[in-house]
């Protein structure tokens, strides 16, 4: 039986709605008065104007003189890049630390505890600046670059990774590779569970390398030429510092989420699995974690949203993300404070709502269905 609200409750709801509308109207009228007093108008036409600044790191082509709209696109892609990198890395690191937190080994358990307490009780901004100033800025110059596996180089200017150069026929072959990448998972749904681990690993490797095998001409390795590194892909230190800061900070909270979720699984599940002859690793991966995942997903969603919002801290290390460019350079050049803040809020809101919708969909997939 659905209980209907009383007349008093309905009146209170209408009163609250009226107060909210009045507050919004008051703020809007004040903003309109301020705009009129400055002899300006509200609008986003400035996005079609040309800029006169450079964006040092971008995923798409950019040159001084492009429009503010393209600058907005560049910044959105930079924000999405560091957010996605941090979400993936924080999830993996948090899972590892959370499992270590429950280890029977005293040393491993307390190392994880010390990591969590250190990271959770220091400001995130301080950690990002620490990685940028105390770690990355103390690396050697290009001539003394640290050689990493797979031909990568590390120096004060960031990490230089090998890049795959497309072949002449890549324009034709890449669509075929994309179709292969999209079609194979659907074919696997029938036989994936029955395949042995070795066959799964082989198929995953073939799937990952297929686009490069079809469209790659050669691999361009970074090398010292003159006073700088040429070739490959440069990952700037600003991105590395922000990525490390976001990842490590969020992983400490994710580790506690993982620990609590694992403890929520009844110990009888572990005992029953061990009695069947399963190894501890198999118990964790096949019995405990699948059940704990149902408890993990909702709080993990909040951590993912925090990572996306905290990407605005990249302004502290001059990483060209949304806040650093539009709340700084663009706002100073155009004097469009309201429009710039509105764009920032709208874009972050859209990204977070899309992330929440995706995580809620996944949560419904793994949740237990009551009958």
Angstrom distances, CA of residue 286 to CA of 126, 281, 289, 293, 362:
39, 8, 7, 11, 19
Note the Cα 193 to chain centre separation in Å.
Answer: 30
Structure confidence at residue 371 (pLDDT)? 45
Region of 203 (left: φ > 0; alpha: ψ -120 to 50; beta: rest) is: alpha
Domain housing 120: 68-137+235-366
Structure confidence at residue 370 (pLDDT)? 47
Q: What CATH number has the domain bearing residue 76?
A: 1.10.3720.10
Are 279 and 241 in a shared domain?
yes
Residue 294: φ, ψ to 5°: -65, -30
Alpha-carbon torsion (314, 315, 317, 320), positive or negative: positive
Q: Whole-structure pTM over 0.75, yes or no?
A: yes
How far apart are alpha carbons 298 and 106 in whole angstroms?
A: 30
Sequence-distant (≥ 6) Cβ neighbours of residue 165 within 8 angstroms: 216, 217, 218, 219, 220
Are 342 and 259 in a shared domain?
yes
How far apart are alpha carbons 331 and 333 in whole angstroms?
A: 6
For the chain, give me the number of helices (H) and strands (E)?
13, 8
Dihedral angle, C-alpha 34, 40, 43, 46, nearest 10 °: -130
Are 123 and 242 in a shared domain?
yes
Are 189 and 268 in a shared domain?
no
Are 279 and 130 in a shared domain?
yes
219 - beta bridge partners? Answer: 164
- Is position 102 within any domain? yes
pLDDT in tens, the chain (371 residues): 557 778 888 888 889 999 999 998 988 888 778 777 777 777 778 888 888 888 888 888 888 888 989 999 999 999 999 999 999 999 999 999 999 998 888 999 999 999 999 999 999 999 999 999 999 999 888 888 888 887 888 888 888 888 766 554 445 455 555 555 555 555 555 455 555 656 666 666 655 655 555 555 567 778 888 778 877 888 889 999 999 999 999 999 999 999 999 888 888 887 788 788 888 788 887 888 888 888 888 899 999 999 999 999 998 898 998 888 888 888 888 878 888 888 999 999 999 999 999 999 888 887 765 44
Using only the alpha carbons of the chain, give its radius of gyration: 26
Sequence-distant (≥ 6) Cβ neighbours of residue 254 within 8 angstroms: 90, 91, 93, 94, 95, 98, 300, 303
């Amino acid at each position: 039986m659905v209980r209907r609200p009383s007349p008093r409750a309905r009146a209170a709801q209408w009163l609250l709605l009226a107060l909210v509308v009045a507050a919004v109207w008051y703020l809007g009228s004040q903003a309109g008065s301020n705009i009129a007093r400055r002899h300006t108008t509200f609008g986003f036409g400035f996005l079609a104007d040309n800029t006169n600044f450079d964006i040092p790191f971008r995923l798409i082509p950019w040159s001084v003189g492009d429009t503010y709209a393209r600058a907005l696109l560049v910044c959105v892609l930079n924000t999405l890049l560091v957010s996605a990198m941090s979400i993936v890395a924080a999830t993996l690191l948090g899972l590892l630390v959370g499992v270590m937190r429950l280890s029977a080994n005293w040393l491993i358990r307390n190392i994880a505890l010390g990591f969590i307490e250190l990271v959770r009780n220091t400001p995130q901004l301080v950690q990002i600046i620490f990685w940028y100033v105390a770690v990355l800025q103390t690396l050697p110059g290009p001539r003394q670059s640290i050689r990493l596996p797979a031909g990568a180089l590390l120096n004060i200017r960031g990490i230089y990774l090998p890049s795959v150069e497309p072949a002449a026929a890549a324009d034709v072959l890449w669509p075929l590779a994309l179709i292969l990448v999209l079609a194979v998972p659907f074919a696997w749904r029938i036989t994936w569970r029955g395949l042995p681990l070795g066959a799964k690993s082989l198929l995953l490797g073939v799937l990952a390398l297929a686009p490069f095998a079809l469209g790659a001409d050669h691999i361009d390795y970074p090398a010292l030429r003159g006073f700088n590194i040429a070739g490959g892909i440069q990952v700037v230190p600003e991105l590395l510092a922000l990525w490390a800061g976001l990842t490590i900070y969020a992983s400490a909270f994710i580790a506690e989420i993982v620990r609590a979720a694992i403890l929520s699984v009844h110990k009888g599940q572990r005992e029953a699995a061990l009695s069947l002859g399963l190894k501890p690793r198999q118990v964790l991966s096949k019995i405990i974690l699948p059940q704990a995942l149902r408890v993990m997903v909702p709080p993990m969603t909040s951590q993912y949203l925090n990572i996306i919002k905290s990407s605005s801290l990249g302004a502290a290390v001059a990483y060209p993300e949304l806040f650093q460019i539009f709340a700084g350079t663009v706002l100073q050049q155009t004097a469009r404070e309201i429009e710039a803040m509105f764009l920032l809020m709208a874009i972050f809101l859209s990204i977070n709502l899309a992330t929440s919708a995706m995580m809620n969909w996944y949560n419904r997939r793994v949740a237990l269905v009551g009958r």
